[in-house]
Amino acid sequence: MNVQSSPNPPTAAETRRPCANCGAELLGEHCYACGQPTKGLVRHFSSIIGDFMDSVFELDSRILRTLGPLLFKPGYLSLEYFAGRRVRYVSPVRLFVFLSLFAFFAAQLRFDAAFDDGQAAAGQVVTVAGDQAGGTPAGGGADSDADASADPDATTGEAAAPGDDRQLASMRQAITVAEVERLRDLALAEINEARAEKTGVPGVDFGLDISMDVAEEAVKGEAANRIREIEGALAAGKPVTVGPAIAMNDAMSFNGKPWHPTENPLVIDWLGDTGNAWVNTQIGRAEDNVERIKEDPNLLKNAFLSMVPTTLFVLLPLFAVLLKIMYFFKKRLYMEHLIVALHSHSFLCGGLLIVVILDALSEWTSAWAWLSRPLGWLEIALLCWMPVYLLLMQKRVYGQGWIMTILKYWVLGTCYLVLISFGATFALLASLVNM
């Protein structure tokens, strides 16, 4: 029986390829002599897209091997990295950048959807009815006319944001301490009500809390100033003068007077002329943006959420410093603590992304309780899993006993909460100036 022999396989000499640039023999996908890759741009577009995603985000099969351990195996990725098994997973920096950008972009879209659906989320959070802004008390009475004259919104019926300049103008026009205190308490009650009516969007509520804190301090400060003016006039036997209704772009004040770039600028002695000029320029830009924000609160929300990934990236090295201090006697390198910080923040951003998605799905399927309710349970379960995950990660990576781990976990959480508060405040101010 004749058996047809297969053709001889090509020899090594026949499979050698020269570099198109320098002619050196190629031993891989890059020329060892000149460094030119074998792949150029003249090829299928789909492969170019794949190379781009791989270069920027390492989005290939490694993402699947990374996300599972990141979400459900606390500390696993960090320990794998320390053990030298790195190439099979997405690098910590790229993982954090990818998840943080997508998480806060999704939060922006989710919050916008609430606006577009006609739910007036911003109005629910920062506005109240005109008859509640210091106007006529329930039941009327002898104070009705005085209240209407003290509150410009009582006659127009326009909605007033808690702590906005119209409410502050009402206090400036009050002529008794009791009236100032009544307007102050009413404005503070509206702010507390606004706090209770949050959007339910993770990441956004924190920024709204800060804006409510700013409004609360403005109301308290203006009330205290007006009470001092009234008491001073009464002590001197002089008539109580009515304060002017300051325009919206004069809402900021220093030294008890409206801010002005030349007549009443903010002056910080140690900054010098150049530094103070820059600070007052930023204040002017912020005041210009206040009117835009009142017309469209989305502007501040979008600017704030866009700043959050950058803020977190700046805080990451500081969190690694805290880990270094807490585990100083472990003799670990600072970069090891930074890897732990990157993985923990990546988990939080990934968890936030899933929570936003689950929240949206739960709302979209609200007509089907059998589907919407389990989605809500998953969202709650994931929010509960986040602090537990971080505790287990700290225990697994650093290998201390439970008592010391819980103690250091509490100290780290408290210190980092302070850093986050400063970072969020800075991000909010930067957003107000640069949006």
Tell me: the pLDDT tens digits for 6-24?
A: 455 545 444 578 887 887 8
User: 353-403, pLDDT tens digit by residue?
Assistant: 999 999 889 889 888 988 889 998 999 999 999 999 999 999 999 999 999
Decide if 19 contacts 26 (C-beta within 8 A).
yes
Decide if 68 contacts 90 (C-beta within 8 A).
no
Examine the pLDDT at 251 and tell me if it is beyond 80.
no
Q: What is the mean pLDDT of residues 13-37?
A: 76
User: 316-354, pLDDT tens digit by residue?
Assistant: 999 999 999 999 888 889 999 999 999 999 999 999 999
Decide if 348 contacts 386 (C-beta within 8 A).
yes
Would you place residue 240 in the very low, low, confident or very high pLDDT band (cuts 50, 70, 90)? Answer: confident
Q: What is the mean pLDDT of residues 209-235?
A: 76
Question: Alpha carbon of 108 to those of 45, 262, 407: distances in Å?
Answer: 31, 38, 36
| Most confident listed range (5-9, 20-24, 163-167, 258-262) | 20-24
Mean pLDDT of the chain: 74
Would you place residue 132 in the very low, low, confident or very high pLDDT band (cuts 50, 70, 90)? Answer: very low
pLDDT of residue 42: 53
* Neighbour tally for 319: CB within 10 Å: 22
Distance CA 340, CA 17 (A): 44
pLDDT of residue 137: 38
Decide if 266 contacts 283 (C-beta within 8 A).
yes
Distance CA 247, CA 303 (A): 25
Would you place residue 71 in the very low, low, confident or very high pLDDT band (cuts 50, 70, 90)? Answer: very high
User: 86-129, pLDDT tens digit by residue?
Assistant: 888 888 988 898 898 888 888 888 765 333 433 333 333 333 33
Residue whose C-alpha is closest to residue 162's, from 184, 136, 135, 139: 184
Distance CA 10, CA 2 (A): 24
Would you place residue 167 in the very low, low, confident or very high pLDDT band (cuts 50, 70, 90)? Answer: low
Would you place residue 211 in the very low, low, confident or very high pLDDT band (cuts 50, 70, 90)? Answer: low
Task: Look up residue 130 and give its DSSP letter.
Answer: G
Percent of the chain with pLDDT over 70: 69
Residue whose C-alpha is closest to residue 175's, from 125, 243, 110: 243
pLDDT of residue 207: 52
pLDDT of residue 46: 61
